[in-house]
Amino acid sequence: MARYLMLPYAVRYEVGTSAEEGLKLFNQFLVDCSNTTTVIDDCSHVHPDIRIAVYCSGIRHGPQESFDRLLALYDLQEKNAYYFYHEYYAMLQGLSCSPRREDIMKVIPRSLKVFRMPPSKKYFVPTLFFIVAFPSGSQWMAEYLEANANEVMSSVNFDEYLDAMTSAWYSERRLDQYKRLQATLINVATDDDQKQLLEKYYNRTSTQVDWWKRHFPDI
């Protein structure tokens, strides 16, 4: 359990040789599964406990071709083994480690359409939080939301989306950005639940900004 929980972050922040070792395993995984046209169950030799970390390492430190291949494998896995969600959730979390905006813009819509079964929610949420762990991630999420408001707001994961996007917003600049975004989205909202979520995360962001003002001098 410890390696399942900790290794993805060790890879992301390059603790020790974790990223280097993860990249080696990822490259071998691509070789082993180069011919699959369905799922990776019979070709992958990467232990399930470390797959998120391995995928993250390959995507964060590998070339564009690695992202494109894992994205294709994700689509195959979701299509052919939809109810065995652990694997394609792991792939999605790995894909979210990309430092490239154009890649994340491909990850976000796939995150939005993931069917959220109650037992699997804990696997989905880290995907969005992996995106915002990258310094520009929350900005990219805001840009995607503004450009694709109907898609995001109608998703069953709209709450989690706003939660992740605003989780690191602690400045007046970000609060003003959210206020402008909220004013635009209110006109797109189709029900009171969506409006309430927008208000909920405005209030939380405001609280975060107030906390930062009070405590930043002491940090």
pLDDT at residue 7 tops 90: no
Select from 114, 24, 100 the least CA-distant residue to 68.
Answer: 100
Query: Residue 73's pLDDT is what?
Result: 98
What global pTM score does this model have? 0.88
For range 202-212, the mean pLDDT = 97
User: What confidence tens digit (pLDDT) does each residue in 22-68 have?
Assistant: 999 999 999 999 999 999 999 999 999 999 999 999 999 999 999 99
Backbone phi and psi for residue 156, each to the nearest 5 degrees, phi listed first: -65, -10
Query: Residue 174's pLDDT is what?
Result: 98
Helix axes 121-133, 2-12, angle to 10 degrees: 20
Structure tokens at 185: 């989205």
CA separation for the pair 181, 175 (Å, rounded): 10
Select from 134, 189, 195 the least CA-distant residue to 164.
Answer: 134
Select from 161, 155, 165, 164 the least CA-distant residue to 115.
Answer: 155
CA separation for the pair 194, 97 (Å, rounded): 28
Give, for 215, the enclosing helix (H) or strand (E).
Answer: helix 192-215
Confidence at 2, pLDDT banded by 50, 70, 90 = very low
